Structure 1
């Protein structure tokens, strides 16, 4: 098993996967979309649904990674991939290969990724999973802030 880290650096989330290879994820304030840059190219990443359970990474040529509860796809040979998100992390599993992402307790902390097996486009799959989990966390936070904001103003009259 290999452990990778994703850290916030200069406005982007940077994955240092060793051997001098680096990949990054940049998003907007609301996390409705973003872009992933790896040595292989540039992908647009976005949630698959309103609740932000999964995400897709794609170029103009099509979807490269799809993490979804019902139908996931990751590059490379092997069986069907499964995406299993949770509140503090998530897993992508295909055959005996596993990629487990653990979010930090606070936004902006270091993300830890445990990798078992061989993955094609490891950086792209990892950052797509990070985007899906952090986008979902951001959505929950914005909803909480909106609810708290409406509760403090109360009814007048």
Structure 2
């Protein structure tokens, strides 16, 4: 098992996977889209649905990674991939190999990633999973703020 960390650095989330390889994720304020940059190229990442349960990373040539509870795809050889999101983390599983992502309890803290087995484009899959989980967290935060803002003003008159 390999333990990786994703940290916020200069406005991006940076994954240092060792051997001088670095990958980064940059997003908009609402987390409705983002960009993942690895040594292999640049991908646009976006949620798969309104509830933000999953995400896709794609180029103009098509989808490279799709993490969705019903239908997932990751690069490389092997069987069907499965994406299991949770409230504080999630995991991608394929053929007994696993990428487990755990979000920090506080915003801005490091994200812990445990990788078991061999993965093609591990940086891309990992940052897509991070985007899916953090985008969902951001949606919950914005929804809560909107509800509190609406309810907290009380009756007028």
Would you say same fold, with TM above 0.5?
A: yes
Q: Give me the whole-angstrom Cα distance separating, in 2, the residues matched to 1:155 and 1:66.
A: 46
CA displacement, residues 11-63 of structure 1 (integer Å, 9 cap, x when unaligned): 00000000000000000000000000000000000000000000000000000
- Structure 1 segments, 4+ long, off by >2 Å, are none
Q: Give me the whole-angstrom Cα distance separating, in 2, the residues matched to 1:107 and 1:66.
A: 25
Which blocks of at least 5 consecutive residues in structure 1 are unaligned? none
Q: Give me the whole-angstrom Cα distance separating, in 2, the residues matched to 1:107 and 1:46.
A: 20
Paired residues for 1:116-155 under 5 Å:
116-155=116-155
Q: Give me the whole-angstrom Cα distance separating, in 2, the residues matched to 1:70 and 1:9.
A: 33
Q: Name the SS for the 2:74 alignment partner.
A: coil
Give the C-alpha shift of residue 155 in structure 1. 2.4
Q: Give me the whole-angstrom Cα distance separating, in 1, the residues matched to 2:153 and 2:54.
A: 34
Query: Aligned pairs, how many?
Result: 157
**Does 1:45 pair with 2:64?**
no
Q: Give me the whole-angstrom Cα distance separating, in 2, the residues matched to 1:124 and 1:149.
A: 37
Please tell me the root mean square deviation across aligned C-alpha atoms, in Å. Answer: 0.5
Q: Name the SS for the 1:148 alignment partner.
A: helix
Q: Give me the whole-angstrom Cα distance separating, in 2, the residues matched to 1:104 and 1:69.
A: 22
Q: Give me the whole-angstrom Cα distance separating, in 2, the residues matched to 1:83 and 1:154.
A: 42
Name the TM-score, length of structure 2 as normaliser: 0.99
Paired residues for 1:50-89 under 5 Å:
50-89=50-89
